[in-house]
């Protein structure tokens, strides 16, 4: 097999679980990815088969679109629903305040990635340092938020859509939004809907790949 397969990753499994499952379903050993999703996130993953694995770096750099569920009023030690929560404020921001705060987080911004991430610090993933209780300094980076819009708001839950450059952490956007509002916030859920020109509604569920021929039929050229 050689090409790109679009998969809708479900919540509750890792990106590498997806690869292991596809290896079992297709019999293909050489499978890579063009960007992971956390276990609590779902949505579009780009899986590469055979010689197409060489395109992973260029595909990873493409812009992405997400729908995020953000919970106001508290912070999380990990920036998402897996962490230890701490109440901050029960103030209910008006919709106009949220729109203004999102506008401040749109454009080219400086972002500090979460320590619970796979970014390597001194040769080891940051989350491993965090789990070991070690304090490390996460390097800031320039990222671009091309679009941000409110889809729905019913305090404490805000649903928002973001189109961002590669390397942008939506968890950090949620935390920064909470800081601007003074309420605290963390990421309650996340769905990746686009990677470059590829869309979630074009992706297959893992259970749809009942035989190697199904995967081969849906492979795209890269």
What is the Cα–Cα distance from 28 to 50, expressed in whole angstroms? 8
Whether 80 contacts 117, CB under 8 Å? no
Backbone angles phi, psi at 24, to 5 degrees: -65, -40
The residues assigned a catalytic role are: 38
Cα dihedral across residues 168, 173, 174, 176: positive or negative: positive
With b for 16 or more beta-carbon neighbours within 10 A and e for fewer, the 87-98 pattern comes to: ebeeeebeeeeb
Contacts of 135 (CB under 8 A, 6+ apart): 129
What is the Cα–Cα distance from 48 to 222, expressed in whole angstroms? 9
Whether 81 contacts 189, CB under 8 Å? yes
């Amino acid at each position: 097999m050689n090409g790109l397969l679009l998969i809708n990753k479900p919540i509750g499994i890792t990106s590498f679980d997806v690869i292991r499952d596809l290896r079992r379903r297709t019999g293909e050993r050489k499978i890579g990815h063009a960007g992971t999703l956390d276990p609590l996130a779902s949505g579009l993953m780009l899986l590469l088969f055979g010689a197409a694995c060489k395109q992973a770096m260029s595909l990873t750099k493409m812009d992405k679109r997400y729908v995020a569920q953000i919970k106001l009023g508290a912070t999380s030690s990990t920036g998402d629903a897996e962490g230890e929560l701490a109440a901050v404020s029960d103030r209910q921001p008006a919709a106009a305040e949220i729109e203004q705060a999102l506008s401040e987080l749109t454009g080219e911004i400086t972002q500090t990635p979460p320590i619970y991430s796979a970014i390597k610090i001194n040769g080891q993933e940051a989350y491993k340092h965090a789990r070991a209780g070690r304090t490390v300094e996460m390097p800031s980076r320039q990222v671009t938020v091309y679009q941000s819009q409110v889809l729905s708001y019913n305090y404490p839950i805000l649903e928002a859509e973001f189109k961002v450059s590669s390397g942008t952490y939506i968890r950090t956007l949620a935390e920064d939004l909470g800081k601007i509002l003074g309420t605290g916030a963390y990421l309650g859920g996340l769905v990746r809907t686009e990677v470059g020109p590829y869309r979630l509604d074009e992706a297959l569920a893992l259970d749809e790949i009942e035989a190697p021929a199904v995967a081969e039929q849906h492979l795209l050229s890269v």
